[in-house]
Chain A
Amino acid sequence: MGVGIDMSEPRTAAPGRRRHVTKVISTLARLGLAGVWLVAGGSKVADLGSSVRAVNAYELLPNGAAQIVGSALPFVEIMVGLLLLAGLFTRAAAILSAGLLVMFIFGIATAWARGLQIDCGCFGGGGALAAGESPTYFWETLRDIGFLAGAGFLILRPHTWLSLDGVLLGGPSGPETSKGQ
């Protein structure tokens, strides 16, 4: 999916030991991200109205669009979480994760820059902060950048243990990863 750089893996260049360590890190990144998405989506899915209000709070989208984004997002997050958990389409799911995270970081950064007093609504809740509460944009941004780093690693090194990609296709899906090179 639309990524222009050559991401072929240096299969032969890396010594066996290092490749093994890489695969372990990729697996941890994959399962960690899966957990993040499942918790994030799961905490919103029971109260879609709250999710829409959290989107409203960013004051970036008109009413109708905020309703679509707010109600669709929890389900998309759960879907990406399940793909990562299963290790199916790992690279594509990692690209999706990175896309979502970039969107979130942008949203939080603009809220910060505009001086809005909101809860990011990242893991449920969200909306305007009550009087006396202060926003925690710095930590929210830092956390999302951390997740983004994990997603980036997984895009570059999508081979993981315990993945459906490994079982079904003999390798993760995505460009330049089939065996025939």
Chain B
Amino acid sequence: MSRRVEQKTAARVVREQIAKEDRRRRVMWTAIGVTLAVLVAGAIGYGVWQAQQPTQFNVPATATEKQDGMVIPGTTGKAKVEIYLDYQCPACKQVEDAITPTVDQWIKENKITLVYHPVAILDQFSAPNQYSTRTSSAAGCAADGGKLYEFSKQLFARQPAENTGGLPDDDIIAAGGDAGLIDPAFARCVRDGTYKGWAKKLTDDFTKRGLKGTPTLFVNDVEVVADKGKGDTSVVDALKRMVTDVK
């Protein structure tokens, strides 16, 4: 082989090696760059979620110890029944209607401690009027007036259909009036949205408990789920069974 050809071959090998090295480096930096971009984007998301948690909010007097719900005054029974609800949620109204006679009876017999968590997860169905948030906040006002249980029944009785913009504050105040909340302080509290921060806190606590929708019920911290094996045909059956089982 001539010297000239040898030189050419050597130069080609070197060029190929450099090109290969270039490619390798480019792939590496792309991988590092894109991985970093994903991590940064994700970290921003988690940071924003953490930063959005409300820190300053008014808390009604009947709030639970963890400030994630309200105890219905006068209920001190052994079975702690928790109800997560959104006043815009049709399934919540159905369950509420179905359990009310039984719950009334349990309250009379002091069999249960009733805890309400009126969360606001369905604001998109009353956009832009935030019916869920406003009623959640109003529930705090009703709790201050000692009539949360009655107020909830009134709100469910007037529940607006989804995607109809919810009800105005005046109607929420009227629902309170029918529940016996005639103190002007209640109307002021509703209009001022005194417990809107609390509504957000309730909702975030609901989310952080790993829950996904309403209604969700608990009996002594066990989620109420219909168990066909035990003869339940609905959540209502399951609730009755679980409360009856508490001795």
Task: Give residues in A with beta carbon < 8 Å to B.
Answer: 1, 47-50, 52-54, 56-57, 62-63, 66-68, 70-76, 78-80, 83, 89, 91-93, 96, 118, 124-125, 127-131, 169, 173-178, 180-181
- Let me know if A72 and B43 touch, CB within 8 A: yes
6 contacts across the A-B interface (CB closer than 8 A): A67-B49, A72-B46, A75-B45, A76-B41, A130-B89, A130-B90
Q: Is the interface of A mostly helix, strand, loop or mixed?
A: helix
Contact of B105 with A by CB under 8 A: no
Known contacts A49-B203, A92-B31, A178 near B22 by CB under 8 Å: yes
Cβ–Cβ < 8 Å partners of B31 in chain A = 1, 92
Cβ–Cβ < 8 Å partners of B48 in chain A = 48, 71, 75
Known contacts A56-B207, A63-B208, A72-B42, A50 near B34 by CB under 8 Å: no
Alpha-carbon gap, A92 to B27, bound state (A): 9
Cβ–Cβ < 8 Å partners of A174 in chain B = 27, 30
Contact of B185 with A by CB under 8 A: no
- Let me know if A173 and B27 touch, CB within 8 A: yes
Contact of B91 with A by CB under 8 A: yes
Contact digits for B163-176, partner A, Cβ 8 Å, 1 yes 0 no: 00000000000000
Cβ–Cβ < 8 Å partners of B33 in chain A = 89
- Let me know if B124 and A75 touch, CB within 8 A: no
- Let me know if B213 and A180 touch, CB within 8 A: no
Closest 3 CB pairs of A and B: A128-B213, A180-B19, A72-B42
Closest to A74 in B: B45
Interface residues of B in 24-58 (CB under 8 A from A): 26-27, 30-31, 33-34, 37-38, 41-46, 48-49, 52
- Let me know if A71 and B22 touch, CB within 8 A: no
- Let me know if B90 and A48 touch, CB within 8 A: no
Alpha-carbon gap, A131 to B211, bound state (A): 17
- Let me know if A181 and B27 touch, CB within 8 A: no
B212 to chain A, nearest CB (A): 4
Pick from A56, A75, A175, A180: contact of B211, CB below 8 A: A56
- Let me know if A68 and B37 touch, CB within 8 A: no
- Let me know if A56 and B210 touch, CB within 8 A: yes
Closest to A69 in B: B42
Interface residues of B in 195-209 (CB under 8 A from A): 203-204, 207-209
- Let me know if B15 and A180 touch, CB within 8 A: yes
Cβ–Cβ < 8 Å partners of A70 in chain B = 49
Contact of B148 with A by CB under 8 A: no
Cβ–Cβ < 8 Å partners of A91 in chain B = 30
A103 to chain B, nearest CB (A): 13
Alpha-carbon gap, A124 to B121, bound state (A): 12
Known contacts A49-B204, A74-B45, A57 near B27 by CB under 8 Å: no
Contact of B100 with A by CB under 8 A: no
- Let me know if A67 and B37 touch, CB within 8 A: no
Alpha-carbon gap, A173 to B34, bound state (A): 11
Pick from B45, B52, B91: contact of A76, CB below 8 A: B45
